[in-house]
Each structure stands twice: as C-alpha cells, then as structure tokens.
Chains A and B, each alone.
Chain A
C-alpha cells in the first residue's frame, strides 16, 4: 500500500532495483517504506483490538456483574451468561496491556515511523540491512498471531492468560493448577513475547547501523533531526533490554515445559495439593528480569514521541528548536538513567529496603532531563508564529500530557509515598497518561504529519481538529480521576471494587461508584471519537487532496522528495546537507524556512 511508486532513476544504478511482483512489492518487501507502513498498519490494527478490550473492561467496572447480551455472541463460552466473570476480566486486562505495550507502543513509533523516515531523514536509500528489516517485521507479525491465539485457547470460563502484562511468577509459572488460562495460554503468551524480543533485536541492530553508517554527505551528527536521535536512542535501549526479557521468557517457558524451577520455590500448596516437583526458584528473580526490560521499555515507547514532538513544534512554530544540544543530551540522559531505575516497580516486592532507597534517588533524578525537555519545548514555542495544523495540535497535546503524566512520578518514585499508592489506580492513571496516551498522541501527530508523505494525500484538517479536541478532553477525563481513585485505595486489576447492586466488595470504596462510571462514560466517548480518525484515514487515502513535495514548508530531507518517495528515496542521487534541520525564520533568508539541502549561505547558525 505504498501508493504510487515513481521511479526517477535515470542516473547511476543503485543497490537494489524496484521489485515488480505484487508479493515482493507489498508483502515480503525489503523496502523500508513498505515495511514502515506494514508496521504502522499492524499497530493500527492492534490499537483497535486493545481499545475494544478496554471498552469491555470499562463496561464491567461501571456496571459490575450486569448482563450484556452481545457478550453471549462475542464469547459464547467465556461469557455464556452475558456477564464478565473474574476470569474473563483478567484475560481482558492481560491482553489489553500486552497488546498495547508491545504491538502498539513499541511498534508504531519505532518500527512504523522510524523505519519509514530514518533512512530518508539521513539521506539514505534504505536501511542498512533490508532483508533483516523484512524479517523483523514478519517475526513481529507471527508474534501478534501467536498472542491472539493465546487469547482463544479456551478453558470453559476463560479466554486467555490472566496474569497481567507483567506475568508475575509463580502465578504465570505453575500452569493450569493455579488457575484457568495459566497453562497453554501463558505458554503462547510468553512465546509471542519471546518472538517479539527477537524481532525488536533485529530491528534495533538495523536502526543503530543505519544511523551511524548511512548518513549522507554533510549530515553530521549535530545536523540530525531530533526524531533520528530519538529513534537511535530507542534502538540502543531495545538492544540492551530486550535480551533480558528474552532470557526471562525462555526460563519461564522452561519452567512450564521442562519442569525446571527458575521462578518456583519449594513447598507451594496450590489448589488443595502440595507441589512436590519444584524447588529453589525465586519469584523476585522474574521481577528483576522483567523490569530490567520493563522500565527501559517505557522510554522505548515515549522517546520517539518526544523526538517527533520537538520536530513538529519547531516546524509549525516556525522557530528553531530551543537548545538542540540540550535536547540531544537529555535524550541520552533519559536513556542512560532509564537502566538504573527498574527497582522502583519493586519497592514493596520484598526486595532489600536499602536497594529501594538507591532506586528511588535515581528515579527522581530522571525527572531532571524530562523537565529539561519540557522547558525546551516551551522555549521553542515562545516567540513563535504558530500554525495550528492537526499534527501541531497533537504535538502540543503531547507536551501537556507528558507534563500531567510525568509529574505524578514524583509521588510514585518516593519509597514512602509508594507504600500507599503502589498497585492502585494512581499508578494506572500515571502510566496511561505518560506511556499510553502521550505516546499515542505522538503517533497521531506522526500520522497527521507524515500521512501526506507516505500516501501522497493530505488528511482532512477539520476532522483532524475535531478528533484532537474530543480526544484531548477525553483522555484527561479518563485518567486524571484515576489518581483520585488510587488515593482512596482502589487496587489495580480488580473486576470491581464495590458492587452497587449487591453490596459486595470493599466497603471503604463504596463512594467511588460514581467516579468509576464517569470514567467509563468518558472512555466510551473517547473510543467512539477514534472512529473519526479512521474515517479520516480512509477518506483522505481515497479522496484526499494531492500532497505536494513539501506541504508543511518543513526543512528536513523527506520534504525534498516526491510524496510518496520513489523506490530508493532520492532517485539515485545522494543529497547533500548544508545545515541543521530547524532553520526557521532565519533573518535575511528569502522564506521563513531554509531546507537542509539549500546550499545558499544564509543564517548565522548553519552548523
């Protein structure tokens, strides 16, 4: 679906010619642009699956135990009576989390936009290892298929694994004995994650090599768009963290299939009987392995959005990025510190309380580079001539959500306060704002910004703006109240806290029924508004106005080639770069932007 490929190759031969068969062109393509779109579509599919699951969860939470006729059709065995059981609820939780984190947040910003635009922005004809690139997409695809299969290995009352996306052992290590869905369901779940790890490793190698080796003439490191720095740092994080999860996942598989006991201690008494064939394992080990990956993963999800936001703010404020070097160093600092904070997920896990203090101190210092980024975004806007296009609105929304979601980390990062807030809805609100919707606002911004380049058509601005306003209000109305619920003591992963129909549940939470329903209504509205986005995509793709080469008057290299770009991006010639990517409103320049490829010596800061 790369649109019209326009071969502009009347010059020297390049390293691979355009494929002609449909399969090599669109399915098993080694063109980074096709692969980027494949990743983007996989994420788009996944985000709607994940959102549909959250819709069912909000139904149950708002109206616990009530019968919904359509559930009988949807899940004839798991919800035979039309209600959402505890099993089904936890499968929804697990699948929502896993699909969103891996197949949306990790996939779209890096595999999707990164694949498509990193080579073009640095002036390369393709990624360094095109075949590896194709393999990493198809392994991701298989991983998604296996994950969805895990959802449907059906015990009578359950539709999949129910240990949450963190899959804590021994709940996830013992098998069917400990609960339905924890046998074959978990095996498929962890197999899918292991495949995903392999795919991400292949992708990370490709990104790092491409950015270091394939930059075109004149593209010095400090002339790279901030998007490229973000993708590069993300790839380094992926390279160092996914192997740890992969190892953990393989050990978990061994515990299931080979009878080992990496995560299972001796003397467990499960479902009325003593487990005699396990000894010596440590449940805490799983948490260390998982979070050693899991915390950098948060930055894998958000860094590309941060890079893109910087890029878009500068472009539409018509102003250079404020503090370019500080932005690059802040990305590095976040990436580096991100490896030393995983223990803040484990303050109350039984880990040494001394380590908890060390992790807490490092965790709060990671707020410093995050604050630097926020200040620099404000500095970029200040004194600008802002053009309020849809991508700009979503980038502005990203900044707002990044502040809202990030700042509550100041509570959770403190050991003392985390005692009360750990595993409550305060955490749910916090991470959804920052790594969920802020990152997704990054993806929306990227889609509205680059759709013209990827598909050669402009997206509808009116629909885009309606989509922005409803979504921005909606996500705040969903996730801000969750912090209050968490303070009141609402625990995570509960099928309900207090059931107003039967009086069951936690009595001290009987006053959160109203706010819980409010959140559910807001979720329904916000999810419905996403159909506007889909309609816009389809309508614009079919009927949208043709995109010119540079509709946004931006400066980076992707805006020097046709929309969509030809097979090898630059039509066989190598572009030459003369300046940084954010030369907007340069005094004395004929227009308010100077392309990176413009050889005229204008502006004071061309380095």
Chain B
C-alpha cells in the first residue's frame, strides 16, 4: 500500500502541474487568462507567472518529497525508525527561506495595485459614470457640454430609460416617476445632453476614469480582458481608472452575487479608436445609440455580438 500511495501522490501532483503548464498540448482551445487589452494587464500577468513558477516548484518539491517518503519509508521488517525530535538548524533554515520568498512575492504583488489604486487618474482621463442594478449595467456620459447632469434616486424611472436618476433639464420634463413633484431647484440644464447606454464605449489608448455606483445591492464590475474588477457598492461612489489598448467588443459579467438572476447580468465593453469616440460623445441620446450600434458592427466583430 505504501508504494501505491507514494506513487499516487506523485502522479496526482504531476497531473495537476501538467494541467497548468501543458494547456496547449491537451486542449484544443487552451483554458488560460483571456487576452489582455489593458496597459496594466501585462504586469499582472507577469506577476502571476512569477508566482506560478514559485508555486509550481514548491508544490512539486513538497508533493514529490511526500510521495517519496511514503514510497521509501514503509515498514521494513523488524527495524526501528530513526529516533529524533527534530533539528533547530533545519527549522530555522526553512523558516527563513520561506519567509524571504513569501515576503518578496508579497511586496512585488503590490506594484500594479499601487499603480491602479493609489494614483489618481490622469487629468485628461475620459470620465464615465457606471450604475449597476439587478441585473443590468448602465453607463452615463456627460454629453456635448462635458458636464454630468446631477442625479438623484428619486428621479430613477427604469420604465422610460432613466436608469441613473438623471435630474430633469427643464420644467416640462415628462419622464418623471409617477407622483413626483418637480421642485425648481432640481432642474439641471447640464442634464439636457446627457446619455445613458447599456454598452460601455471607451476610446483606445486613452485613460478612462469610471465612477462606480449601485442602485440596490453589491455588484462587481469585472472585465476579464482588462484584468480589472471592482465591486460597486450602494452608497459609495468608487473611482477607478485604466487604459485599453485594443479595439473590440468584450463581455462585462457581474462578479458579486446580486440576486436570483446574477448569472444573467452581463454588459458589454466596446473599445473604439479615439477619433470615433470623440465624435460619438458629442451626440445626443438617439443619435448616440444609432452611432454606437454602427461602431459595434464595425469594431465589435461577430463572435461576441450573437449573445444576449
């Protein structure tokens, strides 16, 4: 049983490592991180690979040592085991070595994080507001004037497409929720040209700053190709920034359990060239949507657009 178990431990370990390192050999479509289209992604992927090498070596060494000990030190006739209570020198050695390796990894692992989260977005970053709700993403653009209209939860009216609760821009607003009285102080002319969409359009190669909000419960804004994830928390406005480097259309799954149809909560990210973006964000709501759909045809590709 000792020989079998020893081999079993080693074999299971070898298969586990192979599953990671030999994707291309075993799978027709390798399972790995999706492609990266962000400026910070390569650093995350590199840190992952560094950690993977450390882990693969430590994992293999530990499992093979365990398997070998099981294989080798089975009961041998009437012999007695070595009588020892340990060795302080060995304890000190492996404690110091692991501590050095782990702390080095821990320190290296903060670099991308610091770059993303401890720095402000560059001042020229494109600003877009993101509002999450059960089970939908809405993206809010400031429109031609470049100024976001004020929002207030009391103006939210999903039925007429005011998902973010944009304040009315004039006294004749017709999209107010039933029974809402219009206070003149609530009128905000800056809201007139604001745009709300279900697809996040961003320019290629320019920094983007998102402000993440939630209307109801916690959601999580996850774009695998951007190597980016951030929870959206009701009551908080969380600012994040990144830069995309490739055009295309990509899925935005919700990564935090948000209710019974959590698994259906999906938005799209559409990355377009900077010039296209500049023209697009000048447009009012209806034309914005039409132009966005055209850009989707042009840059979105077939593979991603069939869903939903």
Decide: A416 and B259 in contact? CB cutoff 8 A: no
Q: A386-407: contact bitstring with B at CB < 8 Å (1 yes, 0 no)?
A: 1110000100100110011001
Which of the 9-residue segments A189-197, A480-488, A556-564 touches chain B? A480-488
Complex: A199 Cα to B75 Cα, angstroms: 44
Q: B94-125: contact bitstring with A at CB < 8 Å (1 yes, 0 no)?
A: 11001100110111111111101110000000
Inside 8 A of B181's CB, which chain A residues have their CB? none
Rounded to whole Å, the gap between the CB of B80 and the closest CB of chain A is 4
Known contacts A326-B86, A396-B70; is-contact A387 B75 (Cβ 8 Å) = yes
Complex: A266 Cα to B214 Cα, angstroms: 12
Decide: A476 and B47 in contact? CB cutoff 8 A: no
Known contacts A170-B216, A424-B255, A472-B12; is-contact A386 B2 (Cβ 8 Å) = yes
Complex: A416 Cα to B231 Cα, angstroms: 15
Complex: A162 Cα to B238 Cα, angstroms: 26
Decide: A415 and B110 in contact? CB cutoff 8 A: yes
Q: Taking the complex as formed, is A465 at the interface, i.e. its CB lies under 8 A from any CB of chain B?
A: yes
Q: Taking the complex as formed, is B63 at the interface, i.e. its CB lies under 8 A from any CB of chain A?
A: yes
Q: Taking the complex as formed, is B1 at the interface, i.e. its CB lies under 8 A from any CB of chain A?
A: yes
Decide: A272 and B55 in contact? CB cutoff 8 A: no
Q: Taking the complex as formed, is A584 at the interface, i.e. its CB lies under 8 A from any CB of chain B?
A: yes
Decide: A283 and B218 in contact? CB cutoff 8 A: yes
Complex: A496 Cα to B261 Cα, angstroms: 11
Inside 8 A of B2's CB, which chain A residues have their CB? 386, 388
Complex: A469 Cα to B217 Cα, angstroms: 44
- Classify chain B: how many residues form its interface, as a range: 35 or more
Complex: A382 Cα to B231 Cα, angstroms: 47
Inside 8 A of B86's CB, which chain A residues have their CB? 320-324, 326, 376, 379
Complex: A386 Cα to B82 Cα, angstroms: 12
Known contacts A348-B231, A368-B95, A488-B31; is-contact A585 B80 (Cβ 8 Å) = yes
Q: A168-181: contact bitstring with B at CB < 8 Å (1 yes, 0 no)?
A: 10110010001110
Q: B229-257: contact bitstring with A at CB < 8 Å (1 yes, 0 no)?
A: 11101111010000000000011011111
Inside 8 A of B111's CB, which chain A residues have their CB? 416
Inside 8 A of A381's CB, which chain B residues have their CB? 66, 69-70, 73
Decide: B16 and A476 in contact? CB cutoff 8 A: yes
Q: Taking the complex as formed, is A81 at the interface, i.e. its CB lies under 8 A from any CB of chain B?
A: no
Decide: A416 and B44 in contact? CB cutoff 8 A: yes
Of all chain A residues, which has the CB nearest B92? Answer: A326
Known contacts A488-B31, A503-B307; is-contact A403 B59 (Cβ 8 Å) = yes
Which of the 9-residue segments A66-74, A118-126, A133-141, A356-364 touches chain B? A356-364
Of A350, A361, A365, A512, which one neighbours B230 at CB under 8 angstroms?
Answer: A350
Q: Taking the complex as formed, is A491 at the interface, i.e. its CB lies under 8 A from any CB of chain B?
A: yes
Of all chain A residues, which has the CB nearest B217? Answer: A171
Of all chain B residues, which has the CB nearest A607? Answer: B85
Decide: A378 and B83 in contact? CB cutoff 8 A: no
Complex: A257 Cα to B160 Cα, angstroms: 34
Of all chain B residues, which has the CB nearest A461? Answer: B1
Give the total of A residues in contact with B, Cβ under 8 Å. 124
Known contacts A171-B218, A487-B32, A491-B222; is-contact A319 B109 (Cβ 8 Å) = no
Decide: B118 and A354 in contact? CB cutoff 8 A: yes
Complex: A274 Cα to B75 Cα, angstroms: 72
Of all chain A residues, which has the CB nearest B52? Answer: A411
Of B76, B82, B94, B158, which one neighbours A372 at CB under 8 angstroms?
Answer: B94
Decide: B307 and A393 in contact? CB cutoff 8 A: no
Inside 8 A of A371's CB, which chain B residues have their CB? 94-95, 98, 102
Decide: A410 and B54 in contact? CB cutoff 8 A: yes
Of B80, B90, B304, which one neighbours A507 at CB under 8 angstroms?
Answer: B304
Q: Most A CB atoms within 10 A — which of B5, B51, B63, B225?
A: B5
Complex: A162 Cα to B259 Cα, angstroms: 7
Of B34, B44, B99, B222, which one neighbours A488 at CB under 8 angstroms?
Answer: B34
Decide: A86 and B263 in contact? CB cutoff 8 A: yes
Inside 8 A of B158's CB, which chain A residues have their CB? 272
Complex: A414 Cα to B111 Cα, angstroms: 10
Decide: A422 and B153 in contact? CB cutoff 8 A: no
Of B8, B29, B81, B83, which one neighbours A473 at CB under 8 angstroms?
Answer: B8
Decide: B48 and A411 in contact? CB cutoff 8 A: yes
Decide: A364 and B19 in contact? CB cutoff 8 A: no
Rounded to whole Å, the gap between the CB of B77 and the closest CB of chain A is 9
Interface set, chain B 189-243, CB cutoff 8 A to A: 215-218, 220, 222, 224-225, 227-231, 233-236, 238
Inside 8 A of A168's CB, which chain B residues have their CB? 217-218, 256-257
Inside 8 A of A485's CB, which chain B residues have their CB? 31
Rounded to whole Å, the gap between the CB of B53 and the closest CB of chain A is 11
Q: Taking the complex as formed, is B43 at the interface, i.e. its CB lies under 8 A from any CB of chain A?
A: yes
Q: Taking the complex as formed, is B262 at the interface, i.e. its CB lies under 8 A from any CB of chain A?
A: yes
Of B1, B8, B47, which one neighbours A417 at CB under 8 angstroms?
Answer: B47
Inside 8 A of A361's CB, which chain B residues have their CB? 103, 106-107, 110
Q: Taking the complex as formed, is B142 at the interface, i.e. its CB lies under 8 A from any CB of chain A?
A: no
Q: Taking the complex as formed, is A307 at the interface, i.e. its CB lies under 8 A from any CB of chain B?
A: no
Decide: B80 and A592 in contact? CB cutoff 8 A: yes
Known contacts A319-B81, A415-B113, A507-B251; is-contact A364 B103 (Cβ 8 Å) = yes
Inside 8 A of A326's CB, which chain B residues have their CB? 86, 91
Inside 8 A of A376's CB, which chain B residues have their CB? 86, 91
Q: Taking the complex as formed, is B84 at the interface, i.e. its CB lies under 8 A from any CB of chain A?
A: yes
Of all chain B residues, which has the CB nearest A157? Answer: B260
Complex: A379 Cα to B165 Cα, angstroms: 64
Complex: A180 Cα to B260 Cα, angstroms: 8
Of all chain B residues, which has the CB nearest A388? Answer: B1
Complex: A281 Cα to B90 Cα, angstroms: 52
Inside 8 A of A400's CB, which chain B residues have their CB? 9, 12-13, 63, 66
Q: Which 4 A-B pairs have the closest CB atoms?
A: A414-B109, A265-B235, A383-B82, A353-B117
Seen from chain A, the residues whose Cβ lies within 8 Å of a Cβ on chain B are 85-87, 90, 157-158, 162-164, 168, 170-171, 174, 178-180, 265-272, 274, 281-284, 317-324, 326, 348-350, 353-354, 356-357, 360-361, 363-365, 367-368, 371-372, 374-379, 381-388, 393, 396, 399-400, 403-404, 407-408, 410-411, 413-417, 419-420, 422-424, 465, 469, 472-473, 476, 480-481, 483-485, 487-489, 491-497, 503-508, 511-512, 515, 584-587, 592, 603, 605
Known: A86-B262, A416-B44. 7 other contacts (CB 8 A): A174-B217, A386-B75, A410-B102, A413-B109, A472-B12, A504-B307, A592-B81
Seen from chain B, the residues whose Cβ lies within 8 Å of a Cβ on chain A are 1-2, 4-5, 8-9, 12-13, 15-16, 19-20, 23, 27, 29, 31-34, 43-44, 47-48, 51-52, 54-55, 58-59, 62-63, 65-66, 69-70, 73-76, 79-87, 90-91, 94-95, 98-99, 102-103, 105-114, 116-118, 133-134, 153-154, 156, 158, 165, 215-218, 220, 222, 224-225, 227-231, 233-236, 238, 250-251, 253-264, 266, 303-304, 306-307
Q: Write 20 A-B pairs (CB below 8 A) sorted by A numbering.
A: A162-B260, A178-B216, A319-B81, A348-B231, A350-B231, A353-B113, A360-B109, A364-B105, A396-B66, A416-B113, A417-B47, A417-B51, A419-B229, A423-B255, A480-B15, A484-B31, A489-B222, A489-B253, A506-B251, A507-B307
